[in-house]
Amino acid sequence: MSLIVQKFGGSSVADPECIRRVAKRVAESYDKGNDMVVVVSAMGDTTDHLIELAKELNDKAPEREMDMLLATGEQQTISLLAMTLNAMGYKAVSFTGWQAGIITEAVASKAKILSIDPKRVEDALAEKKIAIVAGFQGFTAGGDITTLGRGGSDTTAVALAAALNADYCEIFTDVDGVYTTDPRVEPQAHKIDRISYDEMLELATMGAGVLHPRCVEVGKDFGTRIHVRSSFNHNEGTIVDDMGGRPMEQQMAVSGVAFDRNVAKVSIFDVPDKPGTAAHIFDTLANEHVNVDMIIQAGQRKNRNKISFTVSADDLPKAKEIMEEMKWQFHAQETSYMDKIAKVSIVGAGMITNPGVAAKMFNILAENDINIEMIATSEIKVSCAIHEEDMVQAVRALHKGFGLSEEK
Ligand code: ASP
Ligand code: MG
């Protein structure tokens, strides 16, 4: 008997038929004698619809009110799933983020979880009830509703699994697991059976949409094993863990190719080449919660620098506002903004010990006549910002070039 947290995303609970399928799946695990906690997202495109609805009334709605609105999506699903299970003869009880004890920072729309006191969930389990918890939402110490950022239900699930000391967390989705790249872009992509937290974190952060990056971080920090699998079949999915059993030196150099179309590049020309310039720019962006990804600084002329960086395209309006202010403060000559940028990344634990991986990536892009706008590296990934129109070709060429298109 195990304590299992299962998470079902929006597409798995899109309509009554889907909810019934999810209920059956939960019941199946419960009938095997497991303690079950279930985290669900809003049904189908509910969150998008709520955002559109809000925009019709106020396109700059206060973030607090947006959180209040968006949290209702998940609240519909928890009650509907609990009702369905009850109709099937199971004792199921639903909890909002607050009732499940999920405390977050007081940052609207992308709050981080500070702590979880899952007392009511534990009490329900002790009574052999199935606990259903709303994903994506929490509460501040001051009592306001917050949301965790788009896709945040994954993070709710893994954080709850960690807080409950669950045996593992199953993330159910509409694909069979984590793929070497998105099969919609490269049909030769195949499912990865097992992957380390670090590689998964890079893949998720670099744009592999199947898992919310923050849930992988939580999994890593608390050693919570994550199983990503399909809600439409019983196939084994992808296990994300510390890869304890992997032979130390038999790692694939590249285990996946990730991409993100939703990138914008920002440049500011002619800022002073002196201590504190970059600190001031990036502090200001951070204070406004604009996440910066790749950064390049280059000398432009004597005592003046050019700084370029990438942000998510969604953050571009905010970044623009800040950078126009910086331009004025630093008497900079010019700013520029490009929103048709994509980022492609190769990820793999063996990369650091395999010289030439980055060079090979640049060569593959060059052979395909693809220009690189920016480069960033870490121990286990190399990312290139390129023009969005080149992205599909780049992903396919890299997937093939690094031997991922052949059957393992
Ligand atoms: N419903 C939220 C969203 O659509 C959270 C989630 O699905 O994980 O982003
Ligand atoms: Mg999701």
225-241 pLDDT, tens digit each: 999 999 889 999 999 99
Q: What one-letter code names the amino acid at 85?
A: L
Q: What's the pLDDT band for 10 if we cut at 50, 70, 90?
A: very high
Q: What average pLDDT does range 175-192 have in this prediction? A: 92
Pick the atom of ligand 1 nearest to 153's CA: 8
CA distance 242 to 226: 10
> How far is the centre of ligand 2, averaged over its atoms, from the C-alpha of 154 (Å)?
7
Residue 247 has pLDDT above 70, yes or no: no
Q: How high is the pLDDT of residue 249?
A: 58
Quick one: pLDDT at residue 246?
63
Nearest residue to 147 (alpha-carbon basis) of 137, 156, 157, 155: 137
26: helix, coil or strand? helix
The percentage of residues in the chain with a pLDDT greater than 90, rounded to a whole number, is 86
Q: Atom 6 (ligand 1): residue with closest C-alpha?
A: 151
Q: Exposed/middle/buried for 299, CB within 10 Å: 0-12, 13-18, 19+?
A: exposed
Tell me, using a 6 A CB cutoff, whether residue 135 lines ligand 1.
yes
Q: Is the pLDDT of residue 29 over 80?
A: yes
Residue 226 pairs with which residues in a beta bridge? 169, 240
The residue whose CA has the least distance to atom 4 of ligand 1 is 47
pLDDT at 248 over 80: no
The answer to whether the CB of 97 is under 6 A from ligand 1 is no
Who wins on pLDDT, 309 or 301? 309
What are the residues whose beta carbons fall under 8 Å from the beta carbon of 311, sequence distance 6 or more?
263, 264, 266, 285, 290, 291, 292, 293, 319
Looking at residue 335, what is its pLDDT? 97
Structure tokens at 130: 């199935």
DSSP, res 152: T
User: At 313, is the secondary structure helix, strand, or coil?
Assistant: helix
Q: What crossing angle do the helices spanning 46-57 and 63-87 adopt, rounded to 10°?
A: 150
What are the tens digits of pLDDT across the range 56-79? 999 999 999 999 999 999 999 999
Residue owning the nearest CA to atom 5 of ligand 1: 151
What percent of the chain is helix, strand and coil (3-state, nearest 5)? 35, 30, 35
345 pLDDT tier (thresholds 50, 70, 90)? very high
Q: DSSP code of 290?
A: P
Tokens 């889907």 sit at which residue? 18
* Ligand nearest the Cα atom of residue 211: 2
C-alpha to C-alpha distance for 197 and 242, rounded to whole angstroms: 6
Q: What are phi and psi of 85, to 5 degrees?
A: -65, -40
Ligand with smallest separation from the Cα of 10 = 1
Q: What is the mean pLDDT of residues 112-127?
A: 98
Q: What is the pLDDT of residue 407?
A: 61
pLDDT at 406: 72
pLDDT at 344 over 80: yes
Give the range among 145-149, 157-161, 249-253, 297-301 with minimum mean pLDDT: 249-253
Question: What pLDDT does residue 300 have?
Answer: 79
- Give me the phi and psi of 346, to 5 degrees please: -110, 140
Element (H, E) at 52: helix 46-57
Q: What is the DSSP letter of 291?
A: P
DSSP letters for 177-188: S-BSS-TTT-TT
What pLDDT is stored for residue 350 in this prediction?
Answer: 73
Which is the closest atom of ligand 1 to the Cα of 154?
A: 8
Of 316 and 380, which is predicted with more confidence? 316
User: Is the minimum distance from the CB of 47 to ligand 1 under 6 angstroms?
Assistant: yes
Long-range contacts of 122-129 (CB under 8 A, 24+ apart): 122/164, 124/93, 124/95, 125/3, 125/35, 125/37, 127/91, 128/91, 129/91, 129/92, 129/93
351 vs 299, higher pLDDT: 299
Cα radius of gyration (the chain): 23
Q: 57: CA distance to ligand 2 center in Å?
A: 27
- Which ligand 1 atom lies nearest to the CA of residue 156? 8
Looking at residue 250, its pLDDT comes to 58
Residue 42 beta carbon below 6 angstroms from any ligand 1 atom: yes
pLDDT of 313 strictly over 60: yes
Centre of ligand 1 to C-alpha 387, Å, is: 28
Interatomic CA distance for residues 360 and 364, integer angstroms: 6
User: Does residue 134 have a pLDDT over 90?
Assistant: yes
- Flag whether pLDDT at 251 surpasses 70: no
Instruction: Give 224's pLDDT tier (boundaries 50, 70, 90).
Output: very high
CB 134 within 8 A of CB 97: yes
170 backbone dihedrals φ, ψ, rounded to 5°: -100, 125
- pTM for the complete prediction? 0.86
Question: How far is the first Cα of the chain from the last one, in angstroms, to the nearest whole number?
Answer: 34
Please say if the pLDDT value at position 396 is more than 90. Answer: yes
Q: Is 150 in the pocket of ligand 1 (CB under 6 A)?
A: yes
Strand stretches in 302-353, DSSP E: 304-312, 334-347
- For the Cβ of 152 lying below 6 angstroms from any atom of ligand 1, the answer is yes
Q: Backbone phi, then psi, for 110, in 5-degree steps?
A: -145, 50
